[in-house]
Structures are given as C-alpha cells and as structure tokens.
Amino acid sequence: MAKLYINEKNKKGHINSEIYGHFSEHLGRCIYEGLYVGEDSDIPNTHGMRNDVVAALKEMEIPVLRWPGGCFADEYHWKDGIGPKEKRKKMINTHWGGVVEDNSFGTHEFFELCEQLGCKTYINGNVGSGTVQEMSEWVEYMTFEGVSPMAELRKKNGHEKPWKIDFFGVGNENWGCGGNMTPEYYANLYRRYQTYVRVYNPDKPIFKICGGPNVADYTWTGDVLKTAFYNVPGEAHGLMDGLSLHYYVHPEGWELKGSATEFDKKVWYKTLAKAKYIEELIQKHGTIMDVYDPEKKIGLIVDEWGTWFTCEPGTNPGFLYQQNTMRDALVAGVTLDIFNRHCDRVKMANIAQLVNVLQSVILTEGPRMLLTPTYHVFHMYKHHQDAELLDSCLDGAETIGEEEDYMVPNLSESVSLGKDGMITITLNNLSAEAASDMDIAFAQLKPAEVKASILTQEMHAHNTFQDPEKVKEQEFTAFTTDAEGIHCVIPPCSVLSFRVKA
C-alpha cells in the first residue's frame, strides 16, 4: 500500500506552461508532411498547415514551439526561406537523410503555424555556420517595427507588422553538430552574438538561451557560465535568461539504441531508469548554476528530451521515425513529474520532436494521423501548465526492476493547483505487471468533486494506422472518496490523472 500526502496549503513554485513545450526541426517528416503540406495539397489545410494536426495540438494546449533545429539550425540561413516560394533556394539537408530542402517552410510559415496553434515562439539561431550580421538581421526582420532595411524586406514579403519572438536560442549543441567548439570559445561567441539579439520593443522582451551541456557534461556548464554568465547590475538576467540541456533516453546506448516496439521487461525498466536519470542531471547542473545564480534567475531549458530508439525498419535512417508505446507514455509521465517538481529551475522543456520524429505526439501517413501514447500523457498533464506546484510526499513506493543498475521506484507523482481552483494529481505506475494500492490524503481538504482519467495497456501497446485508438485516455472511475481522501488501485503500466476541486 502506498500513500500520497498532499499539503494543499503549501505552494512550492510556479510550473511554467513552457515545461510542456515542443520541438520541430527540418528533419524527416516533421515539418514537411507532418505539419506543413502546402496550400495546394489535397490534405485539408489552412495556409499550408494540416488542419487535423493543428486541431489536435491545440486540444493538447501546446504552449511553445522550437524551430528550425536542432543541428539543422546551425546550417540554416534564414534568407533562403523568405520571399516567393518558387525562387527560394533548394539545398540538400546533409544532416538528415540527404533529401532536398526547398525552403518552402520558412520564417513566415513558422509564425503562421504558431499563430494557428496559439503558442509561443522559440527561434534557434545559427552560430555554427552563420555570422553575427545574419543573426542580427533575422531578429530585425522578425521584430523591428519602424523603418529599417529588414523591416522593409519583411513588409515587401507580405507581413506589415513585426512578430514576437518569445525565446531565442543562440546556437544549438555547439559542443557537437553546432561547430565542435570548446566551452570557452562558445561562451565568448555567445557573449558576442547575443549582444545583437536586440530587443526593439521593451514590451516584447526576448528570452535569450545560451547553449548548454550534453547530458552529464558538467565541465561545459561550469566553463560556459564562468565566461558567459554576467549579471548586469540593475538588470534581471544579465546576458542570458536560460541555459539549455539536452538528454535523450537510448535503452541500449547511443550506438545500438534499441527497438521502439520490441523489448522485454529488463529493457522496460532500464529505459525507465534512464528516463529518471534526468533528475540527477537537473540537480547537478542546477547546483553548478546555483554557484553563479543562487537566486535562480536563469532557467534550465531542457529543449531536447525524450526517447531515441532505432528507427522504424524500412524507413530512411536519417528521418528518425519511430513508433511510440506505453513505454514512451511512462517516460513522458515520469519526466514531466520531475520537471514539475524542479520548476524552480526548469523553466522550459521541449520534447523531441512534435510529429513523425523521435518521441512524437503525432504520427502521420499521407492524409491520416494518429495520436501516440505520449500525446495522451501531454493531454492529461496539460492542467499542470501555469499552475502552482503543491507539496507532496509519496510513502511506501517499492523499488522494482530486473538489474541492479536499473532499479526504479514503482510510482511517480506530481501535484499542482491550477488557477481554476482544481488540484491536478498525476501518478505513474512503472511496474509492468503489478497493480498498486494507493491512498491519497490531504492536509485539510475533504475531496468531494473528483474526476480522473487513465492511460493503461500492456507495455508494448501502441497505436497504428490499422488500429489508431488501441491506446487512449479513458475516464477512470475505480476510486472511492471519504473524509480520509481518495482510495484506488493503480493498474500496472499506467498513467493516471486526478482532478480534485480544492
């Protein structure tokens, strides 16, 4: 029997909506086919954006979208993607599958997409192969309101008013595909490039993100902060507002990765243990950040995370297309619980990637679309967005697993209070086979109005175009309430969400 204690009177921090953010790169079928099909497509679209995908993402309440990469960002030259489409440069996407990139999706299309989605914008600039002038002109093109060469160019291309950049990344993985730089070298470039990410309208500040570490590269974090962290007296955040972190879960390591759909229980637990490892990364990188920024003014921005398996057999290996099972759902659930619990430092996170690439929430095949188990988790967790984290403590969790190095607690949770006065409790049962009895107790609240939904199936279950609704969120009624709280049995391999009127 496990017991979850919730002190609904003790608010621990604010959960930024952007923790539930997403990432779309010019990679495989994410942008082209997945999101953008062009105005002339037979697939129903609005200004080229798929209506079915946009509607599903709005329902999921996507808060922010990162674009154009990834590794692609440090090879992207934004001027190739503006102006009449027939005149846009065609190029080979050397990073991802060697296919022709016709640049028909560019700056205007990205802002159109975000407008349709009603989400914030996160642009990733090019430091690896781009100039300071190129980056500075892009920001001018997107955001300058008055008379200037780039503002004129934007107007000539049909957009009179400037857009709003909410987040701007100064390079991507500059320790690797973004230029193979040393931390000191990148940090100096960061200082220089970010200077020209000008905020032309003080009412529309741009949140600047410095390129952070890969996984456990604590040296990168320390060395970059040593050079690039600079707290300007009187200014809230100095030269940066955020530092990124990238972490992918490969059950069999970077080389082998492992199948997305064929795995045994040993690999199930190994995958979940590797997902839980992100908590250690947040704590350790966070401790280094605390040295420079004890007030936690800058955010840890986990702008790439999720599972990365061996690509689906028979597909282009450069397209990173993979299926999505209940295992992905649990990875998403435990990771989002961790982000919620560390919302004092984690200010944004962007799962990789939105459609048809890595741990996607949506898969498409021609005109068809399906929602993955990961989609349903984001849908169930959406109530945590912009809510206050509540104090909670889980007692009685068991340690489970099949290998000493990859043991996990059988349960994971996070609890928040929304602006609508509802408490959201999310719970994951990581066990592949055992149900868990659960009591939920509050400090004072006697729960009266309670609703719940659940995602549960056997561990390999996934949605296919033949059976697109095998795994889906369902109403959960197998619980009781009394003066002591809520009582239920959480089925194995499940993600559960309670909504309780406070």
Give the active site residues. Answer: 173, 304
**DSSP code for 474:** E
What are the C-alpha distances in Å from 6 to residues 15, 312, 444?
17, 42, 9
Q: Is 74 in the site for ligand AHR (CB under 6 A)?
A: no
Contact letters for ligand AHR, residues 117-156 (x by CB under 6 A):
----------------------------------------
Q: Which of 2, 49, 62, 71 touches ligand AHR (CB under 6 A)?
A: 71
Token pair 């990188």 is found at 285
Instruction: Report, in Å, the least distance between residue 25 CB and ligand AHR.
Output: 5
Token pair 């200004």 is found at 47
Q: Which of 25, 61, 140, 337 touches ligand AHR (CB under 6 A)?
A: 25
Give whichever of 257 and 384 is closer to ligand AHR, judged by the CB atom: 257
Indicate the residue type of 113: L
Give whichever of 34 and 69 is closer to ligand AHR, judged by the CB atom: 69
Beta strands 207-210 and 167-170 are: parallel
How many CB atoms within 10 Å of residue 376?
24
3-state class of 240 per DSSP? Answer: coil
Give whichever of 169 and 485 is closer to ligand AHR, judged by the CB atom: 169
Q: Is 307 in the site for ligand AHR (CB under 6 A)?
A: no
Please state, in angstroms and rounded to a whole number, the distance separating the CA atoms of residues 293 and 149.
38
Region binding ligand AHR by CB under 6 A among candidate stretches 4-12, 65-73, 326-334, 373-381 = 65-73
Q: Is 69 in the site for ligand AHR (CB under 6 A)?
A: yes
The backbone torsions φ and ψ at residue 248, rounded to the nearest 5 degrees and listed phi first, read: -115, 150
- The residue at minimum Cβ distance from ligand AHR is 70
Q: Which of 109, 223, 304, 413 touches ligand AHR (CB under 6 A)?
A: 304
DSSP string over 43-108: S-EETTEEHHHHHHHHHTT--EEEES-SGGGGG--GGGGSS-GGGSPPEEETTTTTEEE---S-HH
Contact letters for ligand AHR, residues 324-353 (x by CB under 6 A):
----------------------------xx
Give whichever of 69 and 409 is closer to ligand AHR, judged by the CB atom: 69
Q: Which of 143, 172, 412, 429 touches ligand AHR (CB under 6 A)?
A: 172
The secondary structure element, H or E, covering residue 299 is: strand 299-307
Region binding ligand AHR by CB under 6 A among candidate stretches 69-77, 199-207, 388-396, 491-499 = 69-77
Select from 347, 345, 353 the least CA-distant residue to 322.
Answer: 353
Per the DSSP assignment, residues forming a β-bridge with 123 are 67, 168
Enumerate binding residues for ligand AHR (CB under 6 A). Answer: 25, 69-71, 172-173, 304, 352-353, 358
